[in-house]
Amino acid sequence: MKLLQDKVVLITGASRGIGKSIAEVCVAQGAKVAFTYLSSEEKAKALEAELAKNGGEVKGFKSDAAKFDDAQKLVDDVVAAFGTIDVLVNNAGITRDNLLMRMTEEQWDEVINTNLKSAFNLTKAVQRPMLKAKAGSIINISSVVGVSGNAGQANYAASKAGLIGFTKSVAQELGSRNIRANAIAPGFIETEMTDVLDPKVVEQWRSSIPLKRGGKPEDVANLVVFLGSDMSAYVTGQTINVCGGMLM
């Protein structure tokens, strides 16, 4: 029996990077997957086709996670297509790094809306199907930076710290309804988001990590499988680092 057999998993921002890997690993574990993207239409279609080839039930939706009304419509569309939503993965995220001195209001708002408000939008929208099913698992992709802070990332760190507080509150509010909420705090995971970094900085990071490598998107996806499955039935309100020991 696969760990997510027949569960419906909704993942935001899965056209590339960590979200894409979450979609792949969830399908391999028997899940039906609905995923979103914002602009990468071609990559989204390619992912749909790749996963369908191996018999996966997968559908991509263009939907802006930062927009409240988009989230409501998305959840209605996913429920119409798949019947319910068992697992929500709030993964969509962006960086707009800058020192506070130079950070614009737009850079602050874009990051907070995409990384934090999105989780509010989607979590509110999935409440109805999850309450009806008397079950659900909500997984928020935070960051170690949300725990430790990081110079040049005040907007990003605030959004990721906010996700942790949001997760704990949702876990407390919805626990009695058998709806769980947990946060994952990835460390340095090598994706397009980190491709833009100076190679020298990347090398320094790798050597300072106890496991001596950057993480792979699958390292995060494997924890999503555990938190989405019934194996984690008694785990809620937690923030789990996937960081090779970078933050202890």
Please tell me whether residue 208 binds ligand NAP under the rule CB under 6 A: no
Q: Are 40 and 67 in contact (CB under 8 A)?
A: no
Please tell me whether residue 121 binds ligand NAP under the rule CB under 6 A: no
Distance CA 76, CA 85 (A): 10
156 is catalytic: yes
Strands (E), the chain: 8-11, 32-37, 58-62, 87-90, 136-141, 179-186, 239-242
Token digits for 48? 């749909």
Residues 6 or more apart whose Cβ sits within 8 Å of residue 183: 139, 140, 141, 142, 163, 164, 167, 238, 239, 240
Please tell me whether residue 88 binds ligand NAP under the rule CB under 6 A: no
Among 40, 121, 155, 229, binds ligand NAP (CB under 6 A): 40
Please tell me whether residue 194 binds ligand NAP under the rule CB under 6 A: yes
Q: Which is nearer to ligand NAP, 115 or 167 (CB)?
A: 115
CA geometry: angle 49, 11, 205, nearest 5 deg:
100
Distance CA 125, CA 116 (A): 15
Q: Are 122 and 45 in contact (CB under 8 A)?
A: no
The radius of gyration computed from the CA coordinates of the chain, to the nearest angstrom, equals 17
Among 162, 186, 228, 244, binds ligand NAP (CB under 6 A): 186
Query: Residue 116 Cβ, how far from ligand NAP at the closest point, in Å?
Result: 10
Binding mask 91-110 for ligand NAP (x = CB under 6 A): xxxx----------------
Q: Which is nearer to ligand NAP, 114 or 137 (CB)?
A: 114
Query: Residue 132 Cβ, how far from ligand NAP at the closest point, in Å?
Result: 25
Please tell me whether residue 140 binds ligand NAP under the rule CB under 6 A: no
Among 4, 9, 19, 24, binds ligand NAP (CB under 6 A): 19
3-state secondary structure of 184: strand
Among 15, 29, 123, 167, binds ligand NAP (CB under 6 A): 15
- Give contact residues for ligand NAP (rule: CB under 6 A): 12-19, 36-40, 64-66, 91-94, 114-115, 141, 143, 186, 188-189, 191-194
Annotated catalytic sites, by residue?
156
